[in-house]
């Protein structure tokens, strides 16, 4: 038995979908343990491109059990639309298990997400407006509705009544229209029926899978720098994508989690607001954005682009216990004359080598770079480390040195086959 957590170690969009799909070929079970349809996992194989938001990336393989675990927030309408979209493209034969304890994203969460953002004026977080923050907030203030609640008409009615008493008051105060109990109740029950075949206690299922010695892949969404605990708070999402959140988000004991693979682009991107010390603008940013198709999968927003930031990577490796790295979109850097990696920040005249906890300090950090020569050769057909241009190899070695972490995989294109495996880890 082996299990592996796939964790984004930047600000999301690192290419976790490709790696989960790639490694998933060996998995018996693929598990989403946090986040919701704010994620956008792009998977390309056989000339087809699929974008998943809340459905686990193992869905294309009929032998894989796909689990949406209790740590997730699930918008049932959106998840059903995702499943319908897959079916329309011929993906009919799949195994899906949805935790009865997973939180439901309700329509009022989406309305409140937008309204709270507007209230922030110029200090908006730039959320995906999918209701993620308000849904997690309700979970922790104990007025959340869970997937299992949708299966019990009377219990759901009482939970919805309690929640709506609060939510309609908030909506009213924000000048928004109140939501109608009967409509939400009817819709909720219908979603419950649609999900009934999939809803179960996924903690029991996962513990059985562990006992049976199965290979389990945990698919993190977003990235460690967006973690509610260890990210660039408050410019973060409302869950923790780190490996540490797997036990809590799945109901599996920490002793069953073997290792974590940190997914990292060969450069850095960020969507939404918040500090980004190595951010680039101008021609180089455009070059990388176009070559890397750096536009949000969920929102379509152009992503902010920058040099690789080893300070942020070391932070992510430390707080998430990363054992190995997977370097993604490496081919995008072909043609960049001089590559830079940030190895320290200058903060108010001092050199620091860590990520400050407050945004006001982080916003004042200036990057201190090491420079390396780039390469011009097309590397999209390369399948072994040795066959890479010398400068490309030197760039990878520098990443290992600055992060203190071994590289296990290098991705040189979007397709499953465009993958250099340096070390088998799953």
List contacts with ligand IMP (CB under 6 A): 11-13, 38-40, 125-128, 130, 132-133, 221-222, 226, 235, 237-238, 271-272
What is the dihedral sign for C-alpha 262, 266, 270, 274? positive
Q: By beta-carbon distance, which residue lies closest to ligand IMP?
A: 272
**Whose Cβ is closer to ligand IMP: residue 190's or residue 298's?**
298
3-class SS of residue 372: strand
Smallest separation, CB 238 to ligand IMP (Å) = 6
Known binding residue 302? Answer is yes
Give the whole-angstrom CA distance, residue 273 versus residue 8.
Answer: 18
Smallest separation, CB 403 to ligand IMP (Å) = 21
Strands (E), 56-148: 65-68, 73-74, 95-99, 103-104
Helix (H) or strand (E) holding 138: helix 132-140
Q: What angle do CA 202, 205, 211 make, to 5 degrees?
A: 140
Q: Residues 327, 410: contact at Cβ < 8 Å?
A: yes
Smallest separation, CB 223 to ligand IMP (Å) = 7
Smallest separation, CB 131 to ligand IMP (Å) = 8
**Whose Cβ is closer to ligand IMP: residue 12's or residue 275's?**
12
Known binding residue 180? Answer is no
Beta strand pairing status for 259-265 and 268-270? unpaired
Dihedral (Cα; 251, 326, 74, 30), 10-degree rounding: -50
**Whose Cβ is closer to ligand IMP: residue 221's or residue 246's?**
221
Tokens of 17: 């979908």
CB neighbours (10 Å) of residue 348?
9
Q: Which of 240, 239, 294, 233 is nearest to 269 (CA)?
A: 294
**Whose Cβ is closer to ligand IMP: residue 34's or residue 61's?**
34
Known binding residue 80? Answer is no
Q: Which residues form the catalytic set?
A: 13, 41, 139
User: Residue 209's Cα: distance from chain center in Å?
Assistant: 24
Known binding residue 13? Answer is yes
Please report where in the chains the tokens 């996924």 appear, as a residue: 202
**Whose Cβ is closer to ligand IMP: residue 128's or residue 343's?**
128
Give the whole-angstrom CA distance, residue 97 versus residue 248.
Answer: 17
Tokens of 246: 């797997």
Give the whole-angstrom CA distance, residue 317 versus residue 1.
Answer: 24
Known binding residue 250? Answer is no
**Whose Cβ is closer to ligand IMP: residue 114's or residue 321's?**
114
Smallest separation, CB 304 to ligand IMP (Å) = 10
Known binding residue 300? Answer is yes
Known binding residue 17? Answer is yes
Smallest separation, CB 152 to ligand IMP (Å) = 29
Positions at the binding site for GTP: 12-18, 40-42, 303, 329-331, 411-413
Positions at the binding site: 12-18, 38-42, 128, 142, 222, 237, 297-303, 329-331, 411-413
Positions at the binding site for substrate: 297-303
Positions at the binding site for Mg(2+): 13, 40
């Amino acid at each position: 038995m082996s299990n592996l957590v796939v964790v984004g170690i930047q600000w999301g969009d690192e290419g976790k979908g490709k790696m989960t799909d790639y490694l998933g070929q060996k998995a018996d079970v693929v598990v989403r343990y946090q986040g919701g349809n704010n994620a956008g996992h792009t998977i390309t194989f056989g000339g087809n491109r699929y974008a998943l938001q809340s459905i686990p990336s193992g869905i294309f393989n009929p032998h894989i059990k796909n689990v949406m675990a209790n740590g997730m927030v699930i918008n049932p309408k959106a998840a059903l639309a995702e499943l319908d979209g897959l079916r329309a493209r011929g993906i009919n034969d799949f195994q899906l298990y949805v935790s009865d304890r997973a939180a439901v994203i309700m329509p009022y969460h989406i309305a409140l997400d937008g309204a709270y953002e507007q209230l922030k004026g110029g200090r908006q977080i730039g959320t995906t407006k999918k209701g993620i923050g308000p849904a997690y907030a309700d979970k922790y203030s104990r007025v959340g509705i869970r997937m299992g609640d949708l299966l019990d008409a009377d219990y759901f009615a009482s939970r919805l009544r309690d929640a709506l008493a609060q939510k309609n008051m908030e909506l009213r105060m924000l000048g928004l229209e109140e939501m109608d109990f009967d409509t939400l109740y009817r819709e909720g029950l219908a979603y419950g029926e649609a999900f009934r075949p999939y809803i179960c206690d996924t903690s029991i299922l996962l513990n059985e899978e562990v006992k049976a010695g199965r290979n389990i892949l945990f698919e993190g969404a977003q990235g460690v720098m967006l973690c509610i605990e260890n990210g660039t708070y408050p410019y973060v999402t409302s869950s923790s994508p780190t490996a540490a959140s797997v036990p809590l988000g799945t109901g599996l004991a920490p002793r069953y989690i073997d290792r974590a693979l940190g997914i990292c682009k060969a450069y850095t991107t960020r969507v939404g607001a918040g500090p980004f010390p190595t951010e680039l603008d101008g021609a180089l940013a455009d070059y990388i954005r176009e070559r890397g198709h750096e536009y949000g999968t969920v929102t379509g927003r152009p992503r902010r682009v920058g040099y690789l930031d080893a300070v942020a990577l070391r932070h992510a490796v430390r707080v998430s216990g990363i054992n190995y790295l997977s370097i993604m979109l490496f081919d995008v850097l072909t043609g960049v004359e001089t590559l830079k990696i940030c190895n320290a920040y200058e903060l108010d005249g001092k050199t620091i080598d860590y990520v400050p906890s407050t945004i006001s300090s982080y916003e004042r950090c200036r990057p201190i770079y090491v420079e390396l020569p780039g390469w011009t050769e097309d590397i999209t057909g390369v399948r072994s480390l040795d066959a890479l241009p010398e400068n490309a190899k030197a760039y990878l070695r520098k990443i290992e040195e600055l992060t203190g972490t071994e590289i296990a995989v290098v991705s040189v294109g979007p397709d499953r086959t465009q993958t250099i495996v340096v070390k088998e880890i799953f």
